[in-house]
Structure 1
């Protein structure tokens, strides 16, 4: 019953604005539009840029749908307007793109930063919790962004933050553990960046002789890939594994993470023996078998591993690398024996 009601409500919320957009498109295909092209172009432009977002706002104002999702219909309206309105009649669309839309973008960015700052302050106010930027960022974006936009936005901001903003050395607390010093992952990813850099230069020179725009597009994609990998590397230094409040927070930079209740652990073993990976047994590292491991955690029941862009996979056994493996195991065993 609730599913049917939610589907009906969603159909109304998204269906009415989309119906208006559809009507606008049909008008531009009619003979009336050809006769009154200039005046109708102005009306359709204002409907797509103002009426549609306003109608959507009225439909969601008393729901839990984030108000910031209005920007989605604004962007859709801009794209449709650009496609269906003749270039000579896009004066008001160009004004909107030049003066109003950039202001909206800055406002949204400021709103995200403001809410993120508040979230981090809430973390700092609780002395029992360590401040984790990535977690705070996700929680903030979940509150203010449409669900489908959260993971891409979080990942892009996190890559820039860890790669180019957060340079301060991260000191580990007694309950925190590093996992990058002896695993060889940093060397492997650094080598990949170097390979990308060399190939980018070579392919750019070769492709520019054939097609310059294509050469620059592929160069940009290669640079973007290198930036992401660099952000991944830096995040491994800044997001240690930790044991807090009877929970084990397992993080592999911003690439993979999972939370395990200590009471759900069936056994923990210090072992570097080869282990077959499948749907039951997974590695915390996104590199899989390319990275060595020295810890095997077996659970009493299934848990969820969250990967890049929010991809979820279940597991019951998890293998990982910890630099100080003995202390890691001892702290977990001690916490299990003395849990309240």
Structure 2
């Protein structure tokens, strides 16, 4: 059963239970309704949605608490019927499930951290365990990585093996100059806009200020990621990255050419390209013989040409040419 179908079915059951509660004797409804809402529907959710998709058991807990809230609403009080007894029985079970799942999450994170020095990998592997969807895991991992890079990465060095050649790209196209300019303007802009908007609405001013602060953290995190995640040419492969936005590892045997302008690309369809150049003006395109899987913020895509901006595109092209020979 699909998640949407189950949600629609639950909506019907919840609506029927809440509407019919006043018409059923309280001594019956006080037992039947909590059992249906807090045990029956969560059990169905586990059997029909969670288990087939191998989702974490933590996803069942919100369904249980939703059933408790609707039961209290329908029965008129949070201590009506068997609600207190059922809640007392379910809480230890939920705590045991939470402890078990938290240990699994911690082990997944620890394993990912041991395999790679890249925080994006740590968070993505952990989120894949939780949601089992590549797009959702990639988006959540990017958000978590932004905060890591913005707040916890200031003493870190770019990660690369001793045998690999690094090529920076954070200064290409004036990106870092733009970030520095925004860093100088943001504090003044945030304070000025907050004071201006607060004259009409304090809550709106707080929301705008919070969003502005979040945008500042996001830009700072992406800028740090661009420094710490360089493009790397190693033995047998090339790793292209663009901050937290994109990454791909390409075997050198699959590299067809490195184009230093759009005119050198040849007849490659737009659907087979990904442009991650600064302000969409790449100074290097890496063209592959067959499509490769590129991880992006929205999940994986298969393309043949990836455009990036590099501080020294000619040196990158020479290094890749040397690696392919």
Q: When the two structures are superposed, what TM-score results if normalisation uses the length of structure 1?
A: 0.72
Counterpart in the other structure of 2:279 = 287
Counterpart in the other structure of 1:258 = 248
- Equivalent residue in structure 2 for 1:235, among 217, 225, 229: 225
Counterpart in the other structure of 2:132 = 146
**By how many angstroms is 1:286 displaced?**
6.2
Counterpart in the other structure of 2:106 = 113
**By how many angstroms is 1:20 displaced?**
4.5
Q: Are residues 1:166 and 2:153 paired? A: yes
Aligned length: 310
Runs of 4+ residues deviating >6 angstroms: 99-107, 272-277
**By how many angstroms is 1:60 displaced?**
6.2
SS at match of 1:86: helix
Deviates more, 1:250-259 or 1:321-330: 321-330
| Distance in 1, Cα, partners of 2:96 & 2:211 | 28
| Distance in 2, Cα, partners of 1:146 & 1:41 | 37
| Distance in 1, Cα, partners of 2:297 & 2:27 | 47
Unaligned runs of 5+ in 1: 1-9, 124-129
SS at match of 2:285: strand
**By how many angstroms is 1:328 displaced?**
2.4
| Distance in 2, Cα, partners of 1:54 & 1:263 | 51
8 Å Cα contact 1:239/1:253 also seen in 2: yes
SS at match of 1:283: strand
SS at match of 2:139: helix
- Equivalent residue in structure 2 for 1:25, among 8, 11, 15: 15
- Equivalent residue in structure 2 for 1:248, among 238, 244, 269: 238
Q: Are residues 1:71 and 2:61 paired? A: no
Counterpart in the other structure of 1:223 = 213
SS at match of 2:249: strand
Counterpart in the other structure of 2:123 = 137
| Distance in 2, Cα, partners of 1:272 & 1:254 | 24
Counterpart in the other structure of 1:5 = none
Q: In structure 2, do the counterparts of structure 1 residues 169 and 313 end up closer, same or farther at CA, with 3 Å as the change threshold?
A: same
| Distance in 1, Cα, partners of 2:304 & 2:244 | 21
SS at match of 1:113: helix
8 Å Cα contact 1:177/1:240 also seen in 2: yes
Q: Alignment RMSD, CA only?
A: 3.9
SS at match of 1:287: helix
Residues 104-133 of structure 1: per-residue CA shift (max 9 Å, x gap):
778756543331111222x2xxxxxx6322
Q: When the two structures are superposed, what TM-score results if normalisation uses the length of structure 2?
A: 0.75
| Distance in 2, Cα, partners of 1:52 & 1:28 | 14
Residues 57-105 of structure 1: per-residue CA shift (max 9 Å, x gap):
3446864x2341x433433554576478539624669x89xx8889977
Q: Are residues 1:52 and 2:41 paired? A: yes
| Distance in 1, Cα, partners of 2:152 & 2:239 | 24
Residues 269-294 of structure 1: per-residue CA shift (max 9 Å, x gap):
445999999545543236313xxx43
Q: How does 1:315-330 map to 2 (within 5 A)?
A: 315-330=303-318
**By how many angstroms is 1:55 displaced?**
3.1
Unaligned runs of 5+ in 2: none
8 Å Cα contact 2:150/2:220 also seen in 1: yes
Q: Are residues 1:208 and 2:195 paired? A: no
Q: In structure 2, do the counterparts of structure 1 residues 78 and 187 end up closer, same or farther at CA, with 3 Å as the change threshold?
A: farther
